Structure 1
């Protein structure tokens, strides 16, 4: 994991827990042991963290992936998710040119991810009792 101050790590993990565990009423192990192997994009407004995403390197079983995309509730509606995703896509394209990009999207965000070039590649399924669909963006 890239180095960043403990307070910034705390803010990123707090945002993810606030969104994925508290807001979505979904008790699951947010601290899953994968963060050290990922690149983390963080968007700040001054000193306040307002959005984040986790980027996975390709593995033998997966193309590069984007996950844990979160925007603080008080900053939604400002197209920050769009800006964050475009930066995530650009970073993966820079590091892994020509590779498709995978996401596991919450189903209600299918149109949003579709606007960024992602297409469904699975049927809808439940992950932690939330409907999801796997999507792929061709390189």
Structure 2
């Protein structure tokens, strides 16, 4: 399994198609959320994934905003769930961020049912639960550096 990270400009058309297909399958179809899944953040984000034989199995995007670094669109392809890929992806992403000697607050709008997963990496709740696209979320933050 390979850990990959690329800017939007460096993605191949095939990689971009896989990313968008997976994100729509999970966040729009599976979670039944009608929203603008492809957005302007993609262009400035780092796209991070685990790949095997050219197939993306787990994915997230990493992007900078004025208030710090953000994780978003974290997913594991449905047929590869329960194999520890989300843990592996997040572990390698955090190692990458630390290797870059980035000192920041890493933030995520996490789905509430994943609260303990993110807490296991040191993320802390910084908001009360709220609904986003009909799904309960909570803002979480991890101090890096």
User: What is the CA RMSD across the aligned residues, in angstroms?
Assistant: 1.2
Q: Deviations over 1:48-97 (max 9, x none)?
A: 1111110012x32x210111111001100111000111122222223352
Moved more, 41-50 or 68-77: 41-50
**Aligned mate of 1:13, from 7, 20, 36:** 20
**Aligned mate of 1:26, from 5, 21, 33:** 33
Q: TM-score normalised to the size of structure 2?
A: 0.89
Q: 2:11 and 2:88 mapped to 1: Cα distance?
A: 21
Q: 2:103 and 2:40 mapped to 1: Cα distance?
A: 28
Structure 1 unaligned segments of length 5 or more: list them.
Answer: none
Contact in 2 for aligned 1:66/1:88 (Cα 8 Å): no
Q: TM-score normalised to the size of structure 1?
A: 0.93
Name the SS of the counterpart of 1:138 in structure 2: strand
Q: Report the structure, 1 or 2, having the larger strand content.
A: 2
